[in-house]
Amino acid sequence: MGELGFLGLDKPEEYGGQGGDYYTSLVLAEEIVHAHCGGLAMGLAVHTDMAMPPILKFGTEEQKQAWVVPAIKGEKILCLGITEPDAGSDVAGIKTRAVKDGDEYVINGSKTFITNGHRADVIVLVTKTDPDAGYDGFTLFLVPMDAPGVIREKKLEKLGMHASDTALLAFQDVRVSQDAVLGEIGKGFYEIMWELQGERLIGAAGCVAGAQGVFDRTLQYAQERSAFGRPIGHFQVIRHKFAEMATKIETARQMVYTTAWRFHNGQYPVREITMAKLYASRIAVEVADECIQIHGGNGYMKEYGVERVWRDMRLNRIGAGTDEIMLEVIGRSYGL
């Protein structure tokens, strides 16, 4: 995919990207679903749309040359470390510490649910550098995954996203130089919150495409499969199920596209991104579930691939911010 330029569609040409606009990355997020493999889509998105943007936005020229250039070629793989065993939605509650020691920092802590965590060459790591400074005590680091003390503890088994390597990582006295600091000391929390916006919109686009994909396949099934003397899709209740699913998918798509339009036109639409992420991930699960229902027993079997969509999509209501966190963010945007 690096050879085809797909890993840098919307990235600057000076770093080997294609220099496309934001919509180009949405195209990739939508079309990758035709691989029928959520874990693949997620692994790519973490690389291109989650770990890479903060390096491009906050990184030094040396950091971009060291990591972004080979990442766009597909030669170096990126991952992003936020969540910890004891801190998920509550990002501010993370405990991984980076302590200054002369010209170096010493990092201790652990990260979990890290997509690409087993194959990655580098991690964008969220740490606390000043535990007493509240939101101003976080700092991002670019930590090479082959640094002494980085331990890939466990390949985690999951409900879905099976093709993705999800890691539990430990950091034991990992020493990095000051050059490994990404962005500003003490600004890590805000930097990662910025990153999450792009991640959520790309995720929402993937949900819409995933829902559309399973919808299309199920529509074909409903036209081919007969029961009681006619194609099952010609029963009114099944027809109406499709109408409802089509309405949900179209609505989610327009939320994503309208939000992308805002993004593209220089707005920073946190509220709308949050809404699109929440709605798209919800309907993707609902649509996948309804498609299993329409497939009946076949839907429950692995052979038809419908149950995989449900399993893969289920993560979206949790990852990149749970439904409940999304509702918190939306409400707060209105002063609640």
Partner 1 sequence: VAPIPPFTQEHEELRGAVRRFVENELYPHANEWEAARWFPNDVFIRMARRRYLGLKFPPEYGGDGDLLADAVLTEELARCGSGGLAAGIGAHIGIALPPIWKFGTEQQKQRYLVPGIKGEKIAALAITEPDTGSDVASIRTTARRTDGGFLVNGSKMFITGGVRADALVTAVKTGAEGGHHGLSFLIIDRGPGVESSALDKLGWHASDTAAITFDDVFVPSENLLGEENQGFYLIMANFQWERLLMALGAVGGMQVAFEKTLEYALDGSPGQAIHHKLAEIALQIEAGRDVTYHALRVYLAGENAVREVTIAKLRTQRTAFEVMDACLQIRGDEPEIARAVRDARLGPIGGGTDEIMKEILGRSLGL
Enzyme catalytic residues: 199
Asked if 265 is part of the footprint of partner 1 (rule: CB under 8 A), the reply reads yes
**Closest to partner 1 by CB, 260 or 292:** 260
Would you give the distance in Å from CA 312 to the centre of its chain?
Answer: 12
**Closest to partner 1 by CB, 148 or 296:** 296
Query: Between the CA of residue 72 and those of 18, 51, 105, 243, 246, what are the distances in Å?
Result: 10, 12, 28, 40, 35
Tell me if 291 sits within 8 A of 225, measured CB to CB: no
Strands 181-182 and 138-144: antiparallel
Asked if 26 is part of the footprint of partner 1 (rule: CB under 8 A), the reply reads no
**Closest to partner 1 by CB, 130 or 244:** 244
User: Which among 178, 246, 165, 173 is positioned nearest to 212, based on CA atoms?
Assistant: 246
Asked if 318 is part of the footprint of partner 1 (rule: CB under 8 A), the reply reads no
Strands 230-231 and 226-227: antiparallel
Binders of partner 1 among 105-144, rule CB under 8 A? none
Asked if 250 is part of the footprint of partner 1 (rule: CB under 8 A), the reply reads yes
Spatial distance between the Cα atoms of 298 and 292, rounded to a whole number of angstroms: 8
Asked if 219 is part of the footprint of partner 1 (rule: CB under 8 A), the reply reads yes
Binding mask 272-311 for partner 1 (x = CB under 8 A): x--x--xx--------------------------------
Residue 320: DSSP 8-state: T
Tokens of 93: 């509650």
Spatial distance between the Cα atoms of 213 and 309, rounded to a whole number of angstroms: 9
Contact range with partner 1 by CB under 8 A, out of 39-47, 62-70, 140-148, 231-239: 231-239
As measured in angstroms, the least distance from the Cβ of 105 to partner 1 is 38
Among 92, 267, 296, 301, binds partner 1 (CB under 8 A): 267
User: Which among 280, 281, 309 is positioned nearest to 295, based on CA atoms?
Assistant: 309
Tokens of 118: 């087993």
As measured in angstroms, the least distance from the Cβ of 251 to partner 1 is 5
- Phi/psi of residue 179, each to 5°? -65, -15
Among 244, 298, 305, 318, binds partner 1 (CB under 8 A): 244
Asked if 233 is part of the footprint of partner 1 (rule: CB under 8 A), the reply reads yes
Q: Which residues bind partner 1 (CB under 8 A)?
A: 219, 222-223, 233-234, 236, 238-240, 242-244, 246-247, 250-252, 254-255, 257-258, 261-262, 265, 267, 271-272, 275, 278-279, 324, 326-328, 330-331, 334-336
